[in-house]
Chain A
Amino acid sequence: MSALLEHLRRPSVTNEPPTAGTIRRNDVATLIWVAFVLVLGFGIRNNALSAGKVVTLGDDLLQITLPAGWVQGTRPLADAPPAAPLGPNEYAVSVWNSRSPSQFDATIDIHARHTRPGDNLATVRAALGLRRSQELSRYRELQAEAVTVLNLVPGTLITYAHVADPTRSTGALAPPVVVQGQDLIFLYREHVFRITVAADLATWETEATGFDRVFRSLSLRAAAVQEVLP
């Protein structure tokens, strides 16, 4: 350390003045080094963006990777109605991004329950749409796609929007926000799974990396044949 400090203090024994070429060489070396370090930094960025924590539902029922750094629990400013208590064979995980640039923190909700008689993708989707329209203000379904998850398990990805007022409960004067969400539903191992991602529409692109992390861990793909969904 002392040798390093000594060298930092006095790099030249002869005190010879630099030539223009030496100064130019130093500039080039500095630029190359800074560029190299920033490339390393870009690698850290990519690693951090793809970093996740694995959550296991039930007794090894399903493993999902969630964005690292998101807070697990219930979003404190959520204006959605409180979730009903979990029944037997029912699982729920919720994470939210406390650093969302919007008042509406981006969230990922995972819910699984045992299948009931008559459950299939169409009935689950219809029930979910009905419930959403009752719970969420100005709910509007934008798109529904046939997808596959976990290597050819059929599912449906529903994109919707609604209006939320995340700061109302605190008495703040921030205006309501338009929220975009996606519900991924599928039936797997005798359970009905619903993965919901939601964020302020204005910050959707920023939050999309976290959502992609979840969907990638489920191997979400567009279905080869898109059936006509109502």
Chain B
Amino acid sequence: MAAATSDPQEQARLARVAHDRNGLWIATSIEILGLIVFVGLFNFLFPSLGANLDGAPLIGLGLLFSLIPAALWLVFFYRRDRLDAEPKQMVFNLFLLGALVTAALRGPILDGAFQIQAWLYSTWWAHLLGGVLVVGMVEQFLIFATVRYAIFKHSEFDERVDGIVYAIAVGLGMATILNFQYVWSHGGVDLGIGSIRMVINALAYASFAGVVGYVLGQGRFEKVPIYYIPAGISVAALFNGLFFYALDRTVAQSLTYNPWGDLIFAGIIAALTAAVLFWLIARANEETLRLAGQTVRDGNIDDSDAHRRRGLPPALVPAIAAQHAAESATVSAAEATALPDDPETDDDTSDKKNTTPKDQVGDQANDQGGVA
């Protein structure tokens, strides 16, 4: 991610991501439309597409079903890392790793060590508490461990929001495996409600993982209290458990059971967590910009090691410094051309001169918050 200190292209990019929201909103709208089309296809056009499939076609359908929502949500969240986007290859690797870890460990731990099939569904309280304390905690710990031991010390993990992006990739890898298992275990039937379930499932796992990723990002670059990361994992496990409780009920009931209520409840939990996550992403970007601005004001522009330790991407501080320098020069030129006996003009320019660097960073931060 290295860039020249005063690379005009980098400056232009930063200015664009900080101010131009149209491109992001258009791309976001297209992704949401893609998800709606995905659900609509299997609800209205091909509701019984998989009913007569088995073998390779069923595997193909399962892969299609599990990968499309995950890919759309991955692109959706990837775009939120606007200051210093992560390499796509690295994000994809984490996605694969998340899928592999889930396929290799989730089953043996939950079905083998905890034997959840034997007791989890026996009573509502076992379902709820087991969902939070066992299923949620195991799944979120797997996400935590994958990010912590695969990417945490990597040089590409260079800002707070990177923790969220990589954790979301891992969470979507997990959701992909779970969705594939759903299609496989149902023999390809029930794709109507199944398609909605998969879109919600992918969003939910991405959001829970994002909460874990946020605390990991903070723990990577700041001295956090000892309870901070465990608390973050617990919050994610709590949401995960509630979601698991609601979503599992959609397949756990009798033939006369109407699953829409529980599906909507699961969707609300996923949407709420996603809203919290968007807020956290905005705050992470805002914090990064605030620290970058502070570093520029302190005049500590060229110490890239110190920047890396504080979670500031290498190109960010020099680019902001150059931007501030250019703005200061503009203000100085305006001062020089202003009439000396015009008090109104004097007041305006002196205000700008005094507040421009700080306000500019604040503007960028606010825009980042607004974007997300």
Contacts and interface: CB of A to CB of B under 8 A. Distances in A.
Nearest to B311: A17
Contacts of A209: 118-119
Interface stretch (B18-26, B129-137, B259-267): B129-137
Contacts of A82: none
B221 A17 contact: yes
Contact of A206 (B118, B123, B222, B310): B118
B175 interface: no
B122 A48 contact: yes
Contact of B122 (A15, A22, A51): A51
B228 A37 contact: no
B130 A48 contact: yes
Contact of A29 (B115, B227, B309): B227
Contact of A34 (B137, B214, B223): B137
B228 A11 contact: yes
B229 A30 contact: yes
A68 B86 CA distance: 50
A220 to B, nearest CB: 21
B182 interface: no
B224 interface: yes
Contacts of A26: 219, 224, 226, 228-229
A68 B119 CA distance: 9
A10 B121 CA distance: 38
Contact of B221 (A18, A49, A99, A101): A18
A14 B287 CA distance: 12
A27 B148 contact: yes
A91 interface: no
A66 B144 CA distance: 40
A23 interface: yes
Nearest to A17: B309
A32 to B, nearest CB: 8
A47 B123 CA distance: 11
A15 B222 CA distance: 5
Nearest to A28: B226
B184 interface: no
A23 B119 CA distance: 37
B291 interface: yes
Contacts of A9: 279-280, 283
Q: Interface on chain B toward A: helix, strand, loop, or mixed SS?
A: helix
Contact of B223 (A12, A40, A48): A12
Contacts of B252: 99
Contacts of B123: 48, 51, 68-69
Contact of A11 (B116, B148, B225, B276): B225
Nearest to B126: A48
A96 B150 CA distance: 46
A45 B134 contact: yes
Contact of A37 (B118, B120, B234, B291): B234
Interface in A32-57: 33-34, 37-38, 40-42, 44-45, 47-49, 51
Interface residues of A, number: 40
Interface in B56-79: none
Given A11-B218, A26-B226, A44-B130, A67 B233 contact: no
A45 B117 contact: no
A29 B229 contact: yes
A167 to B, nearest CB: 14
Contacts of A68: 122-123
A25 interface: yes
A16 B227 CA distance: 17
A8 interface: yes
Given A34-B233, A41-B137, A51-B122, A206 B218 contact: no
B35 interface: no
B138 interface: yes
A47 B125 CA distance: 10
A44 B135 CA distance: 12
A100 to B, nearest CB: 9
Contacts of A15: 221-222, 287, 291, 310
B38 interface: no
B114 interface: yes
Contacts of A42: 114, 134
B43 to A, nearest CB: 27
Given A18-B221, A29-B227, A41-B114, A48 B148 contact: no
Residue of A5, A27, A34, A49 with highest tally of chain B CB at under 10 A: A34
Contacts of B144: 30
23 contacts: A9-B280, A11-B224, A12-B222, A15-B222, A15-B287, A16-B223, A17-B310, A22-B223, A29-B230, A30-B229, A37-B133, A38-B133, A38-B134, A38-B137, A38-B138, A40-B133, A41-B129, A41-B134, A45-B126, A47-B126, A48-B120, A48-B122, A69-B122
Going nearest first, the 8 A-B pairs with the smallest beta carbon separation are A69-B122, A48-B126, A41-B133, A33-B230, A41-B134, A48-B119, A17-B309, A12-B222
Interface of B: 114-123, 126, 129-130, 133-134, 137-138, 141, 144, 148, 214-215, 218-235, 237, 252, 276, 279-280, 283, 287, 291, 309-311
